[in-house]
Amino acid sequence: MKPIASVRVLAPAKINPWLQVLGRRVDGFHELDLGYLAVEVCDVVTVHLLPQQASSAAAASTERIRTHTRGPLASADIADGPGNLAWRAAALAWDQAALSGLLDARAPAVGLLVELEKHIPSQAGLGGASSDAAAAWLGARAVLGLGAPTTAEQAAFAALGADCAFFASVPTGYAHGRGRGDQLEVLPARSWHVGLVTPDVGCPTAQVYAALGLVPGAPQRAAGVPPRTGWNDLEAPALRVQPRLSLWRAALHEARCDDWFLTGSGSSFCGLYEDASACQAAVARLEQVLAKAQLSPRLVRCSMARAGVRVDPL
Protein backbone atom coordinates (compact mmCIF):
# COMPACT_ATOMS: atom_id res chain seq x y z
CA MET A 1 0.00 0.00 0.00
CA LYS A 2 1.43 3.41 -1.00
CA PRO A 3 1.86 5.89 1.89
CA ILE A 4 -0.42 8.96 2.03
CA ALA A 5 0.80 12.30 3.41
CA SER A 6 -2.27 12.97 5.61
CA VAL A 7 -5.61 11.37 6.46
CA ARG A 8 -8.71 12.61 8.26
CA VAL A 9 -10.64 10.14 10.38
CA LEU A 10 -14.08 10.55 11.95
CA ALA A 11 -13.97 8.87 15.35
CA PRO A 12 -17.53 8.24 16.60
CA ALA A 13 -18.71 8.00 20.17
CA LYS A 14 -20.50 4.86 21.33
CA ILE A 15 -23.25 3.95 23.71
CA ASN A 16 -23.93 0.57 25.28
CA PRO A 17 -27.55 -0.46 24.62
CA TRP A 18 -27.10 -3.04 27.38
CA LEU A 19 -24.28 -3.92 29.78
CA GLN A 20 -24.15 -6.92 32.09
CA VAL A 21 -21.24 -7.62 34.44
CA LEU A 22 -21.04 -11.39 34.78
CA GLY A 23 -18.14 -11.56 37.22
CA ARG A 24 -14.51 -10.68 37.82
CA ARG A 25 -11.84 -12.84 36.27
CA VAL A 26 -8.69 -14.07 37.97
CA ASP A 27 -6.68 -11.58 35.86
CA GLY A 28 -8.63 -8.75 37.50
CA PHE A 29 -10.68 -7.80 34.45
CA HIS A 30 -14.46 -8.03 34.50
CA GLU A 31 -16.37 -10.48 32.33
CA LEU A 32 -19.01 -8.60 30.34
CA ASP A 33 -21.96 -9.14 28.05
CA LEU A 34 -22.78 -5.85 26.35
CA GLY A 35 -23.92 -4.09 23.23
CA TYR A 36 -21.99 -1.44 21.32
CA LEU A 37 -23.62 1.20 19.12
CA ALA A 38 -21.70 3.96 17.34
CA VAL A 39 -23.42 7.35 17.27
CA GLU A 40 -23.05 10.55 15.26
CA VAL A 41 -21.05 12.46 17.84
CA CYS A 42 -17.53 12.36 16.43
CA ASP A 43 -14.05 13.52 17.24
CA VAL A 44 -12.00 14.46 14.18
CA VAL A 45 -8.56 12.84 14.10
CA THR A 46 -6.03 13.97 11.50
CA VAL A 47 -2.80 12.00 11.04
CA HIS A 48 0.14 13.53 9.17
CA LEU A 49 3.34 11.89 7.96
CA LEU A 50 6.02 14.50 8.73
CA PRO A 51 9.72 15.12 8.17
CA GLN A 52 11.58 14.30 11.37
CA GLN A 53 13.30 17.36 12.85
CA ALA A 54 15.11 15.56 15.66
CA SER A 55 18.85 16.07 15.73
CA SER A 56 19.79 12.70 17.20
CA ALA A 57 18.69 9.10 17.15
CA ALA A 58 17.60 9.39 20.80
CA ALA A 59 15.42 12.38 20.03
CA ALA A 60 13.97 10.58 17.02
CA SER A 61 12.94 7.70 19.24
CA THR A 62 11.04 9.93 21.68
CA GLU A 63 9.67 12.60 19.34
CA ARG A 64 8.69 10.68 16.22
CA ILE A 65 5.08 10.50 17.51
CA ARG A 66 3.36 13.73 18.55
CA THR A 67 -0.22 14.49 19.52
CA HIS A 68 -1.99 17.84 19.66
CA THR A 69 -5.43 18.09 21.29
CA ARG A 70 -7.86 20.94 20.73
CA GLY A 71 -11.57 21.45 20.12
CA PRO A 72 -14.66 22.49 22.09
CA LEU A 73 -14.50 19.52 24.46
CA ALA A 74 -10.75 19.31 24.96
CA SER A 75 -10.14 19.11 28.70
CA ALA A 76 -7.25 19.11 31.14
CA ASP A 77 -7.48 15.34 31.76
CA ILE A 78 -6.67 14.62 28.08
CA ALA A 79 -2.87 14.74 28.00
CA ASP A 80 -0.74 14.94 24.89
CA GLY A 81 2.16 12.51 24.62
CA PRO A 82 2.51 8.91 25.83
CA GLY A 83 -0.28 9.34 28.37
CA ASN A 84 -2.75 9.67 25.49
CA LEU A 85 -4.21 6.41 24.17
CA ALA A 86 -4.13 7.83 20.63
CA TRP A 87 -0.36 8.41 21.01
CA ARG A 88 0.13 4.79 22.04
CA ALA A 89 -2.00 3.61 19.12
CA ALA A 90 0.04 5.64 16.63
CA ALA A 91 3.25 4.33 18.21
CA LEU A 92 1.94 0.79 17.79
CA ALA A 93 1.25 1.45 14.09
CA TRP A 94 4.82 2.77 13.76
CA ASP A 95 6.21 -0.40 15.37
CA GLN A 96 4.05 -2.57 13.12
CA ALA A 97 5.33 -0.68 10.07
CA ALA A 98 8.90 -1.16 11.29
CA LEU A 99 8.35 -4.91 11.71
CA SER A 100 6.98 -5.02 8.16
CA GLY A 101 10.17 -3.39 6.87
CA LEU A 102 8.35 -0.29 5.61
CA LEU A 103 10.44 2.15 7.62
CA ASP A 104 13.88 0.83 6.71
CA ALA A 105 14.37 3.27 3.86
CA ARG A 106 12.94 6.31 5.69
CA ALA A 107 13.56 6.10 9.44
CA PRO A 108 14.38 8.36 11.12
CA ALA A 109 13.39 10.68 8.28
CA VAL A 110 9.68 10.66 9.12
CA GLY A 111 7.45 11.12 12.13
CA LEU A 112 3.74 11.19 12.87
CA LEU A 113 1.59 14.07 14.06
CA VAL A 114 -1.85 13.11 15.40
CA GLU A 115 -4.26 16.04 15.78
CA LEU A 116 -7.33 15.42 17.95
CA GLU A 117 -10.31 17.74 17.61
CA LYS A 118 -12.49 16.83 20.60
CA HIS A 119 -16.28 16.79 20.38
CA ILE A 120 -16.75 13.76 22.66
CA PRO A 121 -16.56 14.55 26.40
CA SER A 122 -14.09 12.61 28.51
CA GLN A 123 -14.92 10.27 31.44
CA ALA A 124 -18.42 10.11 29.99
CA GLY A 125 -18.94 6.45 29.04
CA LEU A 126 -18.89 7.37 25.35
CA GLY A 127 -15.58 5.72 24.44
CA GLY A 128 -13.88 8.87 23.15
CA ALA A 129 -10.35 7.81 24.06
CA SER A 130 -10.75 4.35 22.52
CA SER A 131 -12.34 5.77 19.36
CA ASP A 132 -9.53 8.31 19.01
CA ALA A 133 -7.05 5.45 19.44
CA ALA A 134 -8.71 3.44 16.67
CA ALA A 135 -8.68 6.48 14.41
CA ALA A 136 -5.04 7.18 15.19
CA TRP A 137 -4.04 3.54 14.62
CA LEU A 138 -5.90 3.15 11.34
CA GLY A 139 -4.84 6.62 10.17
CA ALA A 140 -1.21 6.02 11.05
CA ARG A 141 -1.26 2.68 9.25
CA ALA A 142 -2.63 4.43 6.16
CA VAL A 143 0.03 7.17 6.08
CA LEU A 144 2.78 4.61 6.74
CA GLY A 145 1.65 2.45 3.83
CA LEU A 146 0.41 -0.56 5.78
CA GLY A 147 -2.39 -2.64 4.31
CA ALA A 148 -5.27 -4.32 6.10
CA PRO A 149 -4.21 -5.40 9.61
CA THR A 150 -3.43 -9.04 10.28
CA THR A 151 -5.16 -10.94 13.06
CA ALA A 152 -2.06 -10.55 15.24
CA GLU A 153 -1.90 -6.81 14.57
CA GLN A 154 -5.58 -6.42 15.43
CA ALA A 155 -5.04 -8.34 18.67
CA ALA A 156 -2.11 -6.10 19.61
CA PHE A 157 -4.28 -3.03 19.09
CA ALA A 158 -7.24 -4.49 21.00
CA ALA A 159 -4.92 -5.04 23.98
CA LEU A 160 -4.61 -1.25 24.38
CA GLY A 161 -8.15 -0.98 25.79
CA ALA A 162 -11.41 -2.88 26.14
CA ASP A 163 -13.40 -0.75 23.67
CA CYS A 164 -10.63 -0.43 21.09
CA ALA A 165 -11.54 -3.58 19.15
CA PHE A 166 -15.09 -2.35 18.56
CA PHE A 167 -14.06 0.95 17.06
CA ALA A 168 -11.36 -0.55 14.85
CA SER A 169 -13.19 -3.58 13.48
CA VAL A 170 -17.00 -3.13 13.35
CA PRO A 171 -17.99 -1.38 10.10
CA THR A 172 -21.74 -1.52 10.85
CA GLY A 173 -21.34 0.41 14.10
CA TYR A 174 -23.34 -2.22 16.06
CA ALA A 175 -22.00 -5.28 17.85
CA HIS A 176 -22.51 -7.76 20.68
CA GLY A 177 -19.45 -7.90 22.93
CA ARG A 178 -18.28 -10.55 25.39
CA GLY A 179 -15.18 -11.13 27.50
CA ARG A 180 -13.66 -7.72 28.27
CA GLY A 181 -15.78 -6.42 25.39
CA ASP A 182 -13.17 -7.46 22.83
CA GLN A 183 -14.90 -10.68 21.69
CA LEU A 184 -17.22 -9.21 19.10
CA GLU A 185 -20.13 -10.40 17.03
CA VAL A 186 -20.84 -7.83 14.32
CA LEU A 187 -24.56 -7.08 14.07
CA PRO A 188 -26.52 -5.44 11.25
CA ALA A 189 -26.65 -1.64 11.36
CA ARG A 190 -29.53 -0.06 13.31
CA SER A 191 -31.44 3.14 12.55
CA TRP A 192 -32.05 4.19 16.15
CA HIS A 193 -32.22 7.83 17.16
CA VAL A 194 -30.28 8.40 20.37
CA GLY A 195 -30.92 11.01 23.03
CA LEU A 196 -27.74 11.92 24.90
CA VAL A 197 -26.91 13.96 27.96
CA THR A 198 -23.47 14.20 29.58
CA PRO A 199 -23.44 15.73 33.08
CA ASP A 200 -20.91 18.27 34.29
CA VAL A 201 -19.04 15.54 36.19
CA GLY A 202 -16.99 12.57 35.03
CA CYS A 203 -16.93 8.96 36.21
CA PRO A 204 -13.48 7.32 36.54
CA THR A 205 -13.98 3.87 35.02
CA ALA A 206 -11.70 2.00 37.42
CA GLN A 207 -13.49 3.42 40.48
CA VAL A 208 -16.92 2.48 39.12
CA TYR A 209 -15.88 -1.12 38.47
CA ALA A 210 -14.19 -1.31 41.88
CA ALA A 211 -17.44 -0.18 43.50
CA LEU A 212 -19.07 -3.40 42.27
CA GLY A 213 -16.99 -5.18 44.92
CA LEU A 214 -16.62 -8.41 42.92
CA VAL A 215 -14.02 -10.97 44.01
CA PRO A 216 -11.62 -12.21 41.29
CA GLY A 217 -12.29 -15.81 40.34
CA ALA A 218 -15.66 -16.08 42.11
CA PRO A 219 -18.41 -18.01 40.27
CA GLN A 220 -19.84 -15.95 37.44
CA ARG A 221 -23.39 -15.28 36.36
CA ALA A 222 -24.41 -17.06 33.19
CA ALA A 223 -24.81 -14.88 30.10
CA GLY A 224 -28.21 -15.14 28.53
CA VAL A 225 -29.48 -13.93 25.21
CA PRO A 226 -28.79 -10.20 24.86
CA PRO A 227 -30.89 -8.61 27.61
CA ARG A 228 -33.40 -5.91 26.89
CA THR A 229 -31.90 -2.60 25.88
CA GLY A 230 -31.65 -0.05 28.62
CA TRP A 231 -30.00 -2.29 31.22
CA ASN A 232 -26.66 -1.34 32.77
CA ASP A 233 -25.20 -3.09 35.82
CA LEU A 234 -22.80 -0.16 36.32
CA GLU A 235 -25.43 2.49 37.02
CA ALA A 236 -25.80 1.73 40.73
CA PRO A 237 -22.02 1.73 41.44
CA ALA A 238 -21.59 4.87 39.31
CA LEU A 239 -24.17 6.64 41.49
CA ARG A 240 -22.20 5.59 44.57
CA VAL A 241 -18.90 6.81 43.13
CA GLN A 242 -20.40 10.05 41.79
CA PRO A 243 -23.43 10.96 43.96
CA ARG A 244 -24.10 14.09 41.91
CA LEU A 245 -25.43 11.82 39.17
CA SER A 246 -28.58 11.42 41.28
CA LEU A 247 -29.49 15.03 40.40
CA TRP A 248 -29.34 14.13 36.71
CA ARG A 249 -31.37 10.96 37.23
CA ALA A 250 -34.00 13.08 38.99
CA ALA A 251 -34.00 15.53 36.06
CA LEU A 252 -34.54 12.65 33.64
CA HIS A 253 -37.52 11.53 35.72
CA GLU A 254 -39.02 15.02 35.68
CA ALA A 255 -38.54 15.19 31.89
CA ARG A 256 -40.39 11.86 31.49
CA CYS A 257 -37.18 10.16 30.36
CA ASP A 258 -37.22 7.35 32.94
CA ASP A 259 -36.29 4.82 30.27
CA TRP A 260 -32.95 6.56 29.64
CA PHE A 261 -29.98 4.66 31.06
CA LEU A 262 -26.32 5.09 31.89
CA THR A 263 -23.89 4.18 29.13
CA GLY A 264 -20.64 2.44 29.96
CA SER A 265 -19.35 3.45 33.39
CA GLY A 266 -20.91 6.92 32.99
CA SER A 267 -21.39 9.74 33.34
CA SER A 268 -23.60 10.01 30.20
CA PHE A 269 -27.22 8.88 30.05
CA CYS A 270 -28.95 7.96 26.79
CA GLY A 271 -32.29 6.88 25.39
CA LEU A 272 -33.14 4.90 22.26
CA TYR A 273 -35.96 5.88 19.89
CA GLU A 274 -37.28 4.51 16.62
CA ASP A 275 -38.73 7.92 15.73
CA ALA A 276 -36.72 11.15 15.32
CA SER A 277 -39.52 13.41 16.53
CA ALA A 278 -39.91 11.44 19.76
CA CYS A 279 -36.17 11.73 20.42
CA GLN A 280 -36.17 15.46 19.72
CA ALA A 281 -39.19 16.02 21.97
CA ALA A 282 -37.53 14.14 24.84
CA VAL A 283 -34.33 16.14 24.51
CA ALA A 284 -36.30 19.40 24.41
CA ARG A 285 -38.14 18.47 27.63
CA LEU A 286 -34.87 17.53 29.27
CA GLU A 287 -33.20 20.80 28.28
CA GLN A 288 -36.05 22.74 29.91
CA VAL A 289 -35.78 20.71 33.14
CA LEU A 290 -31.98 21.10 33.26
CA ALA A 291 -32.24 24.86 32.78
CA LYS A 292 -34.78 25.12 35.61
CA ALA A 293 -32.58 23.00 37.88
CA GLN A 294 -29.47 25.00 36.90
CA LEU A 295 -27.69 21.87 35.71
CA SER A 296 -25.19 22.52 32.93
CA PRO A 297 -24.56 19.53 30.64
CA ARG A 298 -21.33 19.14 28.75
CA LEU A 299 -23.38 17.62 25.93
CA VAL A 300 -27.10 17.29 25.28
CA ARG A 301 -28.53 16.37 21.89
CA CYS A 302 -30.50 13.97 19.74
CA SER A 303 -28.11 11.92 17.62
CA MET A 304 -28.33 8.88 15.35
CA ALA A 305 -26.69 5.50 15.07
CA ARG A 306 -23.94 5.44 12.46
CA ALA A 307 -21.25 3.28 10.91
CA GLY A 308 -17.82 2.87 12.48
CA VAL A 309 -14.49 4.66 12.00
CA ARG A 310 -13.84 5.94 8.48
CA VAL A 311 -10.44 6.95 7.05
CA ASP A 312 -10.38 9.61 4.32
CA PRO A 313 -7.19 10.76 2.53
CA LEU A 314 -6.67 14.54 2.52
What residues are labeled active site? Answer: 14, 163
- CA torsion sign, 70 to 168 to 166 to 187? positive
Rounded to whole angstroms, the Cα distance separating 168 from 148 reads 11
Show the beta-strand stretches assigned E in 52-120. Answer: 65-70, 110-117
Q: Which residues contact 167 (CB under 8 A, 6 or more apart)?
A: 11, 12, 14, 38, 127, 130, 131, 133, 134, 135, 308, 309
Rounded to whole angstroms, the Cα distance separating 89 from 87 reads 5
The partner residues of 300 in beta bridges, in order of sequence, read 197
Neighbour count for residue 124 (Cβ, 10 Å): 25
Rounded to whole angstroms, the Cα distance separating 275 from 272 reads 9
